[in-house]
Structure 1
Amino acid sequence: MATNNLKNAVIAFLAPLPSILFYLTFLHNQTSSTGTLSSIWAWCNHHPLLLANALFFFNVDVLFWVISQVLSSHWMIDLYWTVIPVMFVHYYRTHPLADYNWWRSTIAVLLTWVWSIRLTHNYFRRENWQWGAREDWRFTDMNAQYGKQWWWISFFAVYLSQQVFLIGICLPLYAIHSVNVPLNIWDFVAIIVCISGIVIAYYADTQLHDFVSRNNKAKEVGRPVVPNLDEGLWRYSRHPNYFGEQLWWWGLVIFAWNLGQGWTFVGSFVNTMCLAYVTTLVERRMLKQDFRAEAYRQYQKTTSVWIPWFKSSPTGGKDKKA
């Protein structure tokens, strides 16, 4: 197990190197004015969004997909969800066409790092500090659904779709580094929303982790498990971790909207719609587990889906004990 863990860690560190090395070479050579290569660097210089998409396509969509075929697992895309936004914010900041307010950019970089560290910590905590121990259960289910066709369907369902989501939700980071105006009150609103999202998601995930850990220990000693988490933030929302994550991305949209780049909301909107579908899948999965199905049905009747709110009684009306 230790050998496999080390192997996966090495693969994870080496996987993004092609795009990193290409971009560093571009930064070094973008002033070149002769030869075939100079035209490539000129294209990279004038098309930051297209270059971001090209690097993502070849390094993530293609290379990560090939690696997944060799490893027979799509675990790496889950891990890189926590890393790619950090790579994007530094890419947009260092691109030759970047034009930004230093304070706003620095705040965005710091917030993105804090978000990434939180999510990365939660990923490894959930996976018992193992690299590639398992892939997302949704990919496993799709593998069972599509069978022998999954090898090529996975390219579109797992990787190309992630390009749409990740490029889209990171568009506000591009906007932040495309407009240079002084900070104003809306920047501080955006900061508050982003930090609130990170804090809520952290506490929600921590409470969920503690709940799962307690149930696992109960199973080990033969004690009955608790069928449903209904404490802390989870008393007021069935998916407070999702709510916190959405606050984070929409906080970035406020930054962009304040800069006259409101069109960048499209990525967060698509992500929210996707997460709504994922919420449905998660709840169906909960209801398929006999030991918690009835408790979860009651939970659905009394507890808000995403936005934290007071409990309702199963027959309607606010629960006085909430």
Structure 2
Amino acid sequence: MTGYPWAAFGQGVGTAAATALAVMLVTFAIAVVRGPHRIVDIAWGLGFTAVALVSYGVSAGEGDGGRRLLVTVLTAVWGLRLAAHIGARGRGHGEDPRYEAMLARAPGHRNLYALRRVYLLQGALVLLVSLPVQAAQYLPGPLGPVAYAGCALWAAGLFFETVGDAQLARFRADPANRGRIMDRGLWSWTRHPNYFGDFCVWWGLFLMVCDAPVVAAATVVSPLVMSFLLINGSGKRLLERHMADRPGFAAYTARTSGFFPLPPSFPLPHRKRPRAR
């Protein structure tokens, strides 16, 4: 793209990489001292927020000021909300079963294994997935229709995440629901409103750079990677494998969309054929 400061963007990516690494190393040090390693999930949202803020700072004087501020605020709102939600949800609990199972198979020192397989990997993913946020800081020209569509998609995603998480928290807080499958509200339209919300948020942020097709082509890998993680990686696939044996889950999957929201489908009641006279 003519006029796009690729060299400055490349330097910014280097700064973002150092930022993501610093967030993960500080989180790792806290986990080693205080435990458990599940706090890395809090650092996921904080890492994106830190990268957005640092990218905004180092790109001063570049790009369109309105786009830069908007992308930074949208990323920070999403990241801080997610970090606060995960922190509140995990307070008072021990190690996450996923990490406990993984660390039980560690071939050497558990903490060093966690550093390699969890913290450094998540830091790399933060850097990769946030590329559109970083690239938007250097994009000249005002926001166009596609960017505004991205804002709307981001808002829809945040709605699904926030409302879905709140509905699930209320459901779990009721002792009468112990052992039951959450199938109400947004959870009756999709089995994963929070993951679908993440999907919308990151495709929305990607649309913020689609006013420049070459920049969009250079960063489209980011929402694609996030989509893979949410649907086939550590999101939907892993969670459903964990829930597969729960009573009522098979019936829930039969009537509820696996990812994209759709009206719930219920089997028609079986009608006996009248006997011939």
- Displacement of 1:258 in angstroms is 2.2
1:10 aligns with none
Q: 1:287 is matched by which residue type in structure 2?
A: A
Name the residue aligned to 1:233.
Answer: 186
Instruction: Give a deviation string over 1:85-141, Cα, whole Å, max 9, x none.
Output: 22112211111575121111222222223213422332233135x6xx544332122
What is aligned with 2:272?
none
> Please, what TM-score do these two structures have when normalized by structure 2?
0.83
Q: How many Å separate the matches in 1 of 2:20 and 2:72?
A: 20
Which residue of structure 2 lines up, in the alignment, with residue 173 of structure 1? 133
Q: Indicate the residue corresponding to 2:123 in structure 1.
A: 163
**Number of residue equivalences:** 258
Inter-CA distance 295–304: structure 2 relative to 1 (3 Å threshold):
same
Equivalences for residues 129-168 of structure 1 within 5 A: 133-146=93-106, 148-168=108-128
Alignment of 1:38-117 (within 5 A): 47-57=11-21, 59-96=22-59, 99-117=62-80
User: Structure 1 residues 125 and 62 mapped into 2: Cα distance closer, same or farther (>3 Å)?
Assistant: closer
Please tell me the root mean square deviation across aligned C-alpha atoms, in Å. 2.6
Secondary structure of 2:85's aligned partner: helix
* Alpha-carbon separation, structure 1, partners of 2:140 and 2:230: 32
User: Equivalent pairs: percent with the same residue?
Assistant: 25
The corresponding residue for 2:223 is 268
Measured in 2, the distance between the counterparts of 1:141 and 1:51 equals 34
One-letter amino acid of the counterpart of residue 207, structure 1 = Q
State the partner residue of 1:308: 261
Kindly provide the amino acid, as one letter, of the partner of residue 282 in structure 1.
L
Q: Distance in 2 between matches of 1:125 and 1:60?
A: 19
Q: Which runs of 5+ in 1 are unaligned?
A: 1-42, 219-223, 316-322
Tell whether 2:209 aligns with 1:248.
no
User: Cα 1:157–1:247, aligned 2, differ >3 Å: closer, same or farther?
Assistant: same
For 1:107 and 1:311, how far apart are their aligned partners in 2?
36
Quote how far apart the aligned CAs of 1:302 are. 1.4
Tell me which residue corresponds to 1:6. Answer: none
Q: Report the residue type matching 1:270 in the other structure.
A: V
Matched, 1:127 2:127: no
Deviates more, 1:147-156 or 1:80-89: 147-156
How much does 1:53 deviate?
Answer: 1.6
Distance (whole Å) between structure 2 residues aligned to residue 114 and residue 96 of structure 1: 20
Q: Distance in 1 between matches of 2:147 and 2:8?
A: 30
Q: Which has the higher helix share?
A: 1
The answer to whether 1:298 aligns with 2:251 is yes
Shift of 1:148: 4.7
* TM-score where L is the length of structure 1: 0.72
The equivalent residue for 2:241 is: 284
Whether the 8 Å contact between 1:172 and 1:253 is mirrored in structure 2 is: yes
Tell me if structure 2 keeps the 8 A contact 1:45–1:97. no
Question: Which fold has the larger relative contact order, with Cα–Cα distance below 8 Å and residues 6 or more apart in sequence?
Answer: 2
